[in-house]
Amino acid sequence: MIGENEYMKKTSVFLLSWLLLLMMTGCSENTTNNGSQQEEKTETVAAEKHEFNRIKTELSKGVDGDTIEVFYKGRPEKVRFLLVDSPETSHPRLGKQPYGQEAKDFTTKIVEEAKNLEIEFDIGQKQDKYGRLLAYVYADGKSVQEELLKRGFARVAYVYPPNTRYVDEFNLIQKQAQQEEAGIWEVENYSREDGFHPEVMGESKTSSVLETEKLSKNKKTANCNIKGNISSSGKIYHTPDSPWYQQTKAEVMFCSEEEAIKAGFRAPQR
């Protein structure tokens, strides 16, 4: 028979071994849980940073205010800017719309001058029915869509989920442009949800005419007697000694020839 002291000794050893085993198991579980929590935290931080993949491309050419052509995967591809719409310049049905040329010139300039041109896809479809890539475009890190909206050269449009990553930011920028009456927002009801409406500007009004009218605001014509006229011959100014001065319809008045020239007008050919 085992003596009482020896029995107590063996029991103590057993209990001590069991406690050590429990402690080791607990530490292992804590380590595993901490590791999982750390991974989840890292994934959450990455998601919060919105680290979306941007793809470097090379410019082929500018096409329109909201479209460019780039070399993608070794071949030229047209890229239609997501979530924005600019007036047309050479549409087969709509023709040339006010502010269309300004939008095209701006986009072409910013992408041609960029040292680093990138595109970014959203989580939805990557091509439209015309085979154009649908993407956000960045010129030296700047969003081209945002720059167009700031200047009133585009409106927020063609919002088709799930390609809506930046729609809230774009709407805020558009609201600011509307308050400032920039570009397409200068004339009430020109830009609407269904597109652009040149008819609200009158038959002869273009963005160039609107710009010259803008120059005339708050100007006293009594002291500014140089007439500016826009016709098929271009933007021409007439001084009081011009033979066509009396019959010229003034669309804008200038206080000096220098001011007229700066606005893009020229003297009539004699």
Please give the positions annotated as active site. Answer: 80, 88, 132
As a whole number of angstroms, the distance between CA 129 and CA 136 comes to 18
Structure tokens at 183: 């570009």
Q: Which residues contact 53 (CB under 8 A, 6 or more apart)?
A: 120, 121
Of the candidates 93, 68, 97, the one whose C-alpha atom is nearest the C-alpha of residue 80 is: 68
Cα separation values, 23 from 16, 33, 67, 199, Å: 11, 15, 65, 82
3-state SS of 83-144? CEECCCCCECCCECCCCHHHHHHHHHHHHHHCCCEEEECCCCCCECCCCCEEEEEEECCEEH
* Token duo for residue 168: 């809230």
- The secondary structure element, H or E, covering residue 252 is strand 252-254
- Give one word for 35, left, alpha or beta, with left for phi > 0 and alpha for psi -120 to 50: alpha
Tallying the residues shown for the chain, one arrives at 270
Query: DSSP readout, 14-55?
Result: HHHHHHHHHHHHHHHHHHHHHHHHHHHHHHHHHHHTT----E
